[in-house]
Amino acid sequence: MAFALNVPKLSFTGEGAVEESVAILSQKNLKKALVVSDKNLVDLGILDSLFSALKDADFDYVVFSEVTPNPTASLVRKGASFYKESECDCFIAVGGGSPVDCAKAIRIVTSNEGDICDFDGVGLVKNEGAFFIAINTTAGTSAEMTSNSVITDEDNAVKMVIVDAKQIPDIAVNDPTLMIGLPKSVTAATGMDALTHAIESYVTPGAHTLTKPTALEAIRLIAKWLPVAVEDGSNLNAREQMACAQFLAGMSFNSAGLGLVHAMAHQPGATHDLPHGVCNAILLPVVCEFNSETNPEPFRAVAEAMGGITFDLNDAQAATLAVELINKLSIEVGIPSGFSELSIAETDLEVWIDKAMADVCLGGNPRQPNPEEVLALYKKAM
């Protein structure tokens, strides 16, 4: 079967990217945008350059700023009603993964029959939906350029992972000036999410010649620039390098797939509302160690991309070095050392096992675990 490389039609990266994307929008025969974001970003003035560009272009819009972390199905339904009542005909999402994923989901239900929960899974979206600009403010989930959206089905306490290339925004925007004010903890968590995307998509059997170089370059950039961006959030070059790194990681995982780290990380995110990047960062070294026990070879390149010297090491030793370097980076950027630091008790772990085993990301992992192994890995991550 031929390999499908899924990327947005157009991407703007660098200062002025917001204005460039609005210039394209204003050339379309469209009338009114639903701007999907969160209240905090609006209050911080992160959307001001977008609002100015829309006003300059005389393009009408309404703002749906109710998005919360880990957006829920009921929030998607509310956004869809607002879109229809306001007679919008296009979308502009501004934020990290949560507002962009929420906009993707609203776009699905405003152009397809059914409830958002009907689209949980792979390839269930029939119609692509309205014109869609996604403006990224973190680095990052890569949500601005991927085929995935993660929505919490609060009735069943499960994170739905909707996977369909029809969700890819028409224009992906990365303007590092919007990322300057991102707090240290969010910079660290989203950066470690991007590292997880790069590593999981590099070691998966789904990796391809077209995706491996972008994954490795993402790992190299993150190892170099994430500590700088966390230490000095106003360093525009560090912000831009991280924006590029997370985009490269997105180019890789969007087509190659993810793995067990994401399958396991989605569960504490759903039940305890923990930040996605923090859950990934805690699980990443534990799962890398598990995966490398059966095939350490791909982890040599991971160690090297993270700055490790491997020429005198065998594959198993190089994989151990990769895990050490991941742990070192986590500590350097201030990630909690385990779930116990996040008020998780051992009794919480059992609930996550079946859902992790059923998660759509698990299939991409190079080593398929049994439920007992998943529990052991969760315990190791405490």
Which residues would be at the binding site for Fe ion (CB under 5 A)? 193
Nearer Cβ to Fe ion (80/105): 105
How open is the CA angle 246-63-109, to the nearest 5 degrees?
75
Nearer Cβ to Fe ion (268/296): 268
| Other residues' Cβ atoms within 10 Å of the Cβ of residue 98 | 24
132 with 98: CB under 8 angstroms? no
Closest CB to Fe ion belongs to which residue?
Answer: 193
Cβ 359 to Fe ion shortest distance, Å:
12
Cβ 261 to Fe ion shortest distance, Å:
8
Name the 3-class secondary structure at 233. coil
Nearer Cβ to Fe ion (49/141): 141
Nearer Cβ to Fe ion (49/254): 254
Counting other chains too, the contacts that 335-342 makes at CB distance below 8 Å and 24 or more residues apart are 335/188, 335/189, 335/192, 335/278, 335/281, 335/282, 336/278, 336/282, 337/282, 338/282, 338/381, 338/382, 339/268, 339/282, 339/378, 339/381, 339/382, 340/382, 342/268, 342/272, 342/274, 342/278
Cβ 191 to Fe ion shortest distance, Å:
11
Q: Where are the beta strands (DSSP E) in the chain?
A: 10-13, 32-36, 60-64, 90-95, 121-122, 131-136, 148-153, 158-163, 171-174
Cβ 223 to Fe ion shortest distance, Å:
18
**Residue 346: both structure tokens together:** 């051992």
**In which residue are the tokens 């831009």 written?**
240
Cβ 294 to Fe ion shortest distance, Å:
23
Nearer Cβ to Fe ion (193/217): 193
Cβ 249 to Fe ion shortest distance, Å:
9
CA 178 vs CA 22, 135, 139, 213, 242: distances in Å: 16, 9, 11, 27, 13
Name the DSSP letter for residue 64: E
Nearer Cβ to Fe ion (38/193): 193
CA distance linking residue 379 with residue 102, whole number of Å: 32
Cβ 138 to Fe ion shortest distance, Å:
11
Nearer Cβ to Fe ion (21/280): 280
Cβ 1 to Fe ion shortest distance, Å:
25
Nearer Cβ to Fe ion (170/193): 193
**Of the candidates 100, 96, 21, 22, the residue with the CA atom closest to the CA atom of residue 60:** 22
